Amino acid sequence: MSLSPEQIQEIEEQRAQSAQTRRVVSEGMEKHLYTAHEVLDHGFVRVIDYMGDDAAICQAARVSYGKGTKSVQNDEGLIRYLMRHWHSTPFEMCEIKLHVKLPVFVARQWIRHRTANVNEYSARYSILDREFYIPAPEHVAAQSVVNNQGRGAALQGEEAARVLEILKADSNRAYDHYEEMISDDGQDGLARELARMNLPANIYTQWYWKVDLHNLFHFLRLRADHHAQYEIRVYADAICKVVADWVPAAYGAFEDYRLGGANLSGRAMDCVRRMLKGEEVTQENSGMSKGEWREFEAELKG
């Protein structure tokens, strides 16, 4: 992981500070504040600020439902009920602000989640560092023959080494040309906003990303899934560990109903009922396409 001396000093100064407050404090989250959790070869995720905790979710729900919550025995039970029945607004009462350092191609996937507030490092104003994501050999894989947007088996031996050398050489060559085209004082050379267009998609960028818990759970449901691309999934996994400490009851319900659960179509549910009655169900008599049936079988096998 590559933190600049200025960033390290900033983190140390922030973690050294403390203050009394009347606002809600999550003890589990406090240990994560300003700490950089390493991701990939140069990336990280760190919490800058947060708002709310499990109790804030319940408080918001009880405002909405009024006296109806008297039958709820405890906060965890209420949170599980909210998650189970797809209630969203109580979870929106919690927010988190993250500082993330990530490759540009991962950022372009990430930004598809348009329900957050984002402020990215400006390559029009500042000069990007010579830092590129180079995958570990075990993550250099061939194109999947089943999934057009996924990878298959890892490349081996000389082929893997050849690909890695191309990635390293092309990245450094592009950055060499980037440096040639710009100047630190801004008096000579190409404008930074133009010079940046020659840089590869594996160069690292940084941003502040602020999102409420409901939309964060949606992000994590998609990006922490084993089908997600490895390079964004490891960021989601790092965030999951933070969220589990921040709102343990809400994360436990999310893990159970979303990450560990499954959404079945009407046809799939009909097949399950037929199977429970002892009927032999196949793809041919299920009413599903081959792709649907393959996914259905995968869910049943776990």
Cα dihedral value 120, 122, 127, 132, nearest 10: 30
Q: 193-241: per-residue pLDDT in tens? A: 999 999 999 999 999 999 999 999 999 999 999 889 999 999 999 999 9
- Give the residue among 128, 107, 132 at the shortest CA–CA distance from 223: 107
Q: Look at residue 22 in the predicted model and tell me its pLDDT.
A: 80
The DSSP 8-state label assigned to residue 112 in this structure reads: T
pLDDT digits (tens, 9 = 90+) for 83-99: 999 999 999 999 999 99
Tell me what the mean pLDDT of segment 14-40 comes to.
89
Q: Is 173 a known active-site residue?
A: no
Which listed residue (223, 233, 274, 294) is catalytic? 223
Give the count of beta carbons closer than 10 Å to the beta carbon of residue 178. 22
For residue 231, what are its two tokens? Answer: 């390079």
pTM of the model: 0.89
Bridge partners, residue 39, by sequence: 43
Q: HSE on the CB side for 62, CA within 13 Å?
A: 16
Q: Which two tokens stand for residue 105?
A: 């191609």
Q: Could you list the residues known to form a binding site, using ranges.
A: 89, 109-114, 120-124, 196, 212-214, 218, 223
pLDDT at 196: 94
DSSP 111: T
Task: Collect all residues with Cβ–Cβ distance below 8 Å to 272 and sequence separation of at least 6.
Answer: 264
Bind-site residues for dUMP:
109-112, 120-124, 196, 223
Q: What is the pLDDT of residue 270?
A: 95
Residue 297 CA to residue 302 CA, distance in Å, equals 9
Q: How far is CA 90 from CA 62, 67, 71, 86, 246, in A?
A: 9, 16, 18, 11, 16
pLDDT in tens, 126-148: 999 999 999 999 998 888 777 76
- Structural element, H or E, at residue 51: strand 43-51
Q: Which helix (H) or strand (E) is 101 found in, with range?
A: strand 95-103
Annotated binding site for FAD: 89, 112-114, 120, 212-214, 218
